[in-house]
Amino acid sequence: MENNKLNRLTGQARRESYSLSHDYIGVEHLLLALMKTGSLATKALEEAGANYELLRSIVINNIGKGSAVRPAKEYSNKVRQIFDRARLFAQKRKKVSASEEDVLLAILNDDDSFTNLMFMLSGLDKKIIRDNLIRLQKEEKSSNTSNNLSENLKKFAKNLNEMAEAGKIDPVIGREDEVERVIQILLRRTKNNPILIGDPGVGKTAIIEGLAQRIVDGKVPFVMKEKTIVSLDLASMIAGTKYRGDFEDRLKKLFGELEQREDVVLFIDEFHMVLGAGASEGSMDAANILKPILAKGDIQIIGATTIDEYRKHVEKDQALTRRMQPVHVEEPNKDDTIKIIEGLKDKYEDHHKVEITDEAIKAAVDLSQRYIQDRFLPDKAIDVIDEACSKERIKNYKENKNQVSNKEILDKLIEEKNIAINEQNFEKAASLRDQINETREKLEKEKEENKTDLKISFDEVAKIVSSWSKVPITKLTEDEKQKYMDLDIDLKKEVIGQDKAIDKISHAIKRARVGLKDPKKPIGSFIFVGPTGVGKTYLAKSLAKNLFGDMDNLIRMDMSEYMEKFAVSRLVGSPPGYVGYEEGGQLTEAVRKNPYSVILFDEIEKAHPDIFNLLLQILDDGRLTDGQGRTVDFKNTIIIMTSNVGVSSLNQNPKIGFGTGDVEKEIDDSNKEIINKAIKNAFAPEFLNRLDDIIMFNSLDKDAIKEITKILLEETKDRLKNLGIEINYNKRVVDLLSEGGFSKEYGARPLERHITNKIDNQLAEEILEGKLSKDMVINLTVKEGKINFANKKEKIKEEIPIS
C-alpha cells in the first residue's frame, strides 16, 4: 500500500497472523489489527462494543492456531479484494490513497468473509459500526480544517493555507517552473523534501506561499489537494526553553503530531537555523532530531535558505543534505519583475490609496537594478514602489480642521444617542439620529473636497532610489542639461591653464550622462600626466564638486601606501581568517557608501603590480569583489590616476618641456612622444588599452599663474568676509604676488605658500593684536615693491572672535 498508515495496518495484521502461527494474512487479521491502530476505525468499532480479546478468541475457536514458524508474507485473495474496494471508497471521497477507515468500510460491505461470523458471534451490528465511522469522519473533517490544527502546530507554526483562503498572500507570478519542481519533489516516494536555495529577496518564501494558494484554489495535482502547508516559527519554539531538554521535548511533540497528519507539510524558512538551534551542552540541535524522522519518511518538510548560508551550514551536513532535494531559485529578469509588480499593483494601490503608473513600475525595476547593487530583484524593486507610495501619501496627506471637529461632534452625538436609548428617551434619540446623519453627510462632503488624486511616476521612484543609493538620479531637466553643457566652462573657471584636459573629461562625462557610454564600465577612466603643482589633483576635486555637489565625493587613494604586496588586501579587505576580515576594504567600502564618486589614485606608478590586476577588473567590468565576496559597483564612478612618469626626462632638456613657450605645436608633439614612451615602459599594454584617455597637463605660464593668484586672493577675501572684514586689491598686487610665486618646476604650490606668507600671515597678526575689527575695509596696494595694508576704515568697533 502507498500510505504510511496502511503500512502500519498491514504490519500489525502480519503480527496478528504470526501470533496465531498462521501462514497467510487474512481479513480476520486485518480486523484484529484495526482494533490496535488507534485510528477512527478503532474508535468506530469500540463505540459499537467491539472487544479485541473476544474477537481473537472467536478466530482461535473457529479457525484454530496454525503451525507456521515465520511471519506470513502473502495476502489472501479476499484481503486483496478488500484493498481494491478500499481504494474505490477513497476515490469517491476524493482522497489520494486509502486509509484504515476505507479498509473497515470495505470489510463491512463484504458479506462472504469470515469477519461476518466474527461480528455476529461478538454481537456487533455492522450498521452501527458504519454509522459510527461516518460520524467520526465528519467530526475529523471539521476539526482538521485549516483553522483547527493541533495544539503545538497552532502554537509554533503559521497555517499558510488559512492565510491563502483569507486573501492574505500576495499573488505569485512567473514562478511556475519552481512551483512545479517543488510539487514533483513532494510527490516522490522517498527523499521528498525540497529545499529552496537562492539569494535573499528573489522570492523563495513567495514560492511556498504560492503553492499554498494553488492548493486552496485546487490548481494542483489530485494527490496534492488534501495537503496543508504550515510555516514553522523556530524562534517561538526556542523562546522560553529554560531547562535542558525543553526544546527537544517541544520539537518531538511537534514532529509526533506531524507524523499523525500526513496531509501537513512543514515549511522551515531560514532552514540553516535548524543546524545548532536549541543546542546546549549535552543536548541535540533541531537538525539531529529531524534527520532520523526524515530518514523514516514519516513527515515532509520544505526548507528555504540563501546560497551563502546553504554552503556555510547545510551543505557540510551530508546526512541532512542527502535527504533534501535542492530547488535553485534564480533572480528574475527585468521583464518578469515588471510582471510581478504589475500583479501586486492593486494591493499596493489599495493600501496606500495611490495610483501606480506603468512608468513608475518600469523605473523601479530599471533604477533599482542599476543603482542598488547589494540587493536582488524583485524584492528591491517592490520595496522602492512601496516606499515611494508611502512617501507620496504622507506628503499629500491633508486633514481639514473642520473635519477633525466634525468627527469629534459625531462621536459625541453617537454617545448621547446610546444614553438616550438606555434611558428609553426615544424622542431625544430620534432627534440625535437626525443630527448624526447630517454630521455624517458633512464629513463625507469634506472628505471628497480634500481628496487628492495621488500618482506615483518616474520622479517619485527616482527620489527613493536616489536616497538609498546616494546617486543623483533625476530626469535631464532644462537646468540639469545646462549644468552638463556648462561643465567645461565651470571647470575652466577653477582649474587654470588645462583647457585641453578639461575638454576631454567633460566630453566623456556628457556621453555617459545621456547614455552613450558602455553601461558596464565606469563613467570615465583617465591618467593625468604632468609636472607637480599644475592642477591634476585639483581638477579631480573640482570635478567631484561640480558633478556631485561636494568635494567629499572624492575618494583619494595615495598609491605610495600600496607599494608592498600585502597592501593589496587593504583595498578590497582581508580574506577570511585574517585580521580585519569583517572591516572590509578601504576602496570597496568607500565606493559602497558613495557609489557616485570620483576615485583618485594618486601617483599610480608607485603601486604594487598586483594593484593593476584589480584595476583591470574595475576598468573592464565596472565592478570589484571584496574580501567578503560582495560585488561592489563602480559603474557610476570616474576613475582618475595621476602620474609623473616621463616628467623628469622633459625637465632635463632645456629645449623641450612643459610650457617653455616657443614653437608650441612642435614642443607639444615632442612632449607627447617622450611621455607616451615613458608610459608604455611603466604600464602594461592591457592596462593602458582599458583607459579612456591619457591626458597631459602643461606647465603653468605667467598668465595662468596670474589667474590662479586672483582665485587664491578671492578665497582669502571670502574667508575674511565670514569675519566681517572686507578686502580690496588691484592689478599691481596680483602682478607682484604672481611674480614672486611663479615657478615653472613646481607649478602653483609655491604661489600658494607665497600668498600665505605675504597676506594671510600679516592679516592673522593684525586680527590677534586687535588692529582689525568687524566691518573694516582693507585696501591692498603695492608700495616700494612690497604689499601695503592701507586705508583701514572702521565703521563699528567690535572685537573679532578668535576661533
**Cα distance between the two ends of the chain:** 91
Distance of alpha carbon 696 from alpha carbon 669, whole angstroms: 11
pLDDT above 60: residue 249 = yes
Assess whether 596 and 684 both reside in one domain. yes
* Structure confidence at residue 448 (pLDDT): 63
Q: Is residue 802 part of a domain?
A: no
State mean pLDDT over 140-169. 71
* DSSP class per residue in 323-350: TSEEEE-PPP-HHHHHHHHHHHHHHHHH
Give the neighbor-by-neighbor strand order of the sheet with 300-305.
157-159, 228-232, 264-269, 300-305, 194-197, 325-328
- The cell for 499 is 583647457
Distance of alpha carbon 420 from alpha carbon 439, whole angstroms: 18
Q: Is 290 left (phi over 0), alpha (psi -120 to 50) or beta?
A: alpha
Distance of alpha carbon 270 from alpha carbon 268, whole angstroms: 6
State mean pLDDT over 665-686. 72
Q: Is residue 347 part of a domain?
A: yes
Distance of alpha carbon 542 from alpha carbon 537, whole angstroms: 9
* Structure confidence at residue 798 (pLDDT): 40
* Structure confidence at residue 477 (pLDDT): 45
* Structure confidence at residue 147 (pLDDT): 46
Residue 99's CATH number: 1.10.1780.10
Split at pLDDT 50, 70, 90, the class of 148 is low
- The cell for 390 is 508611502
* Structure confidence at residue 281 (pLDDT): 47
* Structure confidence at residue 143 (pLDDT): 56
Q: What whole-number percentage of the chain has pLDDT above 90?
A: 1
3-class SS of residue 744: coil
Q: Is residue 528 part of a domain?
A: yes
Task: Judge contact between 642 and 600, C-beta under 8 A.
Answer: yes
Distance of alpha carbon 186 from alpha carbon 181, whole angstroms: 9
- For the stretch 643-675, pLDDT in tens is 887 766 555 554 444 444 443 333 456 667 777
* DSSP class per residue in 543-597: HHHHHHS-GGGEEEEEGGG--SGGGHHHHH-PPTTSTTGGG--HHHHHHHH-SS-
Residue type present at position 753: R
- DSSP letter, residue 144: T
- Give how many domains the chain has, as a whole number: 6
pLDDT above 80: residue 65 = yes
Assess whether 374 and 405 both reside in one domain. no
- The cell for 388 is 515611494
* Structure confidence at residue 667 (pLDDT): 40
3-class SS of residue 631: strand
pLDDT above 80: residue 20 = yes
pLDDT above 80: residue 268 = yes
Comparison of pLDDT for 514 and 46, the residue scoring more: 46
Task: Judge contact between 774 and 723, C-beta under 8 A.
Answer: yes
Assess whether 518 and 569 both reside in one domain. yes
Task: Judge contact between 789 and 762, C-beta under 8 A.
Answer: yes
Distance of alpha carbon 162 from alpha carbon 140, whole angstroms: 17
Comparison of pLDDT for 640 and 292, the residue scoring more: 640
Residue 376's CATH number: 1.10.8.60
* Structure confidence at residue 297 (pLDDT): 77
* Structure confidence at residue 342 (pLDDT): 87
- DSSP letter, residue 700: P
User: What rounded mean pLDDT belongs to the chain?
Assistant: 79
Distance of alpha carbon 87 from alpha carbon 76, whole angstroms: 17
Assess whether 189 and 95 both reside in one domain. no
Closest CA to 372 of 462, 459, 468: 468
Which of 291, 308, 328 corresponds to the end of one domain? Answer: 328
- For the stretch 504-542, pLDDT in tens is 888 888 887 777 778 788 888 888 887 777 888 888 888
pLDDT above 60: residue 402 = no
Residue with cell 612642435: 666
State mean pLDDT over 65-80. 81
* Structure confidence at residue 400 (pLDDT): 46
Assess whether 392 and 413 both reside in one domain. no
Secondary structure of the chain: what % helix, strand, coil (to 5)? 55, 10, 30
Assess whether 355 and 494 both reside in one domain. no
Assess whether 69 and 120 both reside in one domain. yes
Distance of alpha carbon 444 from alpha carbon 686, whole angstroms: 71
Split at pLDDT 50, 70, 90, the class of 2 is very low
* Structure confidence at residue 242 (pLDDT): 72
Closest CA to 378 of 200, 615, 219, 169: 200
* Structure confidence at residue 671 (pLDDT): 67
CA distances to 7, 27, 46, 705 from 37, rounded to whole Å, are 11, 15, 12, 101
pLDDT above 60: residue 403 = no
Split at pLDDT 50, 70, 90, the class of 793 is low
Split at pLDDT 50, 70, 90, the class of 141 is low
Split at pLDDT 50, 70, 90, the class of 285 is low
Which of 662, 696, 730 corresponds to the end of one domain? Answer: 696
Number of neighbours of residue 64 by Cβ within 10 angstroms: 10
Lowest mean pLDDT, pick from 162-166, 175-179, 222-226, 612-616: 222-226
Split at pLDDT 50, 70, 90, the class of 150 is low
* Helix count and strand count (H, E) for the chain: 37, 18
Rounded (5°) CA angle 245-249-251:
120
Q: Is residue 686 part of a domain?
A: yes
Tell me whether residue 149 is exposed, middle or buried, using C-beta atoms within 10 angstroms of its C-beta: 0 to 12, 13 to 18, 19 or more. Answer: buried
Task: Judge contact between 484 and 509, C-beta under 8 A.
Answer: yes
Residue 643's CATH number: 3.40.50.300
Assess whether 516 and 593 both reside in one domain. yes
Which value, in Å, is the radius of gyration of the alpha carbons in the chain? 42
The runs of H, that is alpha helices, within 683-788 are: 685-688, 702-722, 731-741, 749-755, 761-769
Q: Is residue 566 part of a domain?
A: yes
* Structure confidence at residue 659 (pLDDT): 47
Task: Judge contact between 157 and 233, C-beta under 8 A.
Answer: yes
Q: Is residue 799 part of a domain?
A: no
* Structure confidence at residue 760 (pLDDT): 81
Which of 669, 696, 723 corresponds to the end of one domain? Answer: 696
Assess whether 343 and 314 both reside in one domain. no
* DSSP class per residue in 709-729: HHHHHHHHHHHHHHTTEEEEE
221 upstream amide cis, omega within 30 of 0: no
pLDDT above 50: residue 565 = yes
pLDDT above 50: residue 282 = no
The runs of H, that is alpha helices, within 451-498 are: 458-469, 478-485, 487-494
Distance of alpha carbon 103 from alpha carbon 77, whole angstroms: 15
Assess whether 621 and 529 both reside in one domain. yes
Q: What is the pTM of this model?
A: 0.57
Residue with cell 573592464: 620
Task: Judge contact between 792 and 763, C-beta under 8 A.
Answer: no
Assess whether 358 and 308 both reside in one domain. no
- DSSP letter, residue 520: T
* Structure confidence at residue 203 (pLDDT): 86
- For the stretch 317-338, pLDDT in tens is 788 888 888 899 888 888 888 9
Q: Is residue 723 part of a domain?
A: yes
The runs of H, that is alpha helices, within 239-333 are: 246-260, 286-296, 307-309, 318-321
Assess whether 100 and 209 both reside in one domain. no
3-class SS of residue 266: strand
pLDDT above 80: residue 691 = yes
- Structural domain that includes position 87: 4-143
Q: Is residue 72 part of a domain?
A: yes
- For the stretch 427-478, pLDDT in tens is 888 888 888 888 888 777 766 655 556 788 888 888 888 778 766 665 444 4
* Structure confidence at residue 405 (pLDDT): 61
**What number of CA atoms fall less than 13 Å from residue 755's CA on the CB side?**
24
Rounded (5°) CA angle 256-259-263:
135
The alpha carbon dihedral of 392, 394, 398, 399 has a sign of positive
- The cell for 409 is 461632534
pLDDT above 70: residue 346 = yes
Task: Judge contact between 557 and 597, C-beta under 8 A.
Answer: no
Distance of alpha carbon 587 from alpha carbon 639, whole angstroms: 12
* Structure confidence at residue 144 (pLDDT): 53
To 10 degrees, the CA torsion angle through 314, 319, 323, 326?
30
3-class SS of residue 678: helix
pLDDT above 80: residue 360 = yes
- The cell for 29 is 487479521
- For the stretch 171-215, pLDDT in tens is 888 788 888 898 889 888 888 889 999 888 888 888 988 888 888
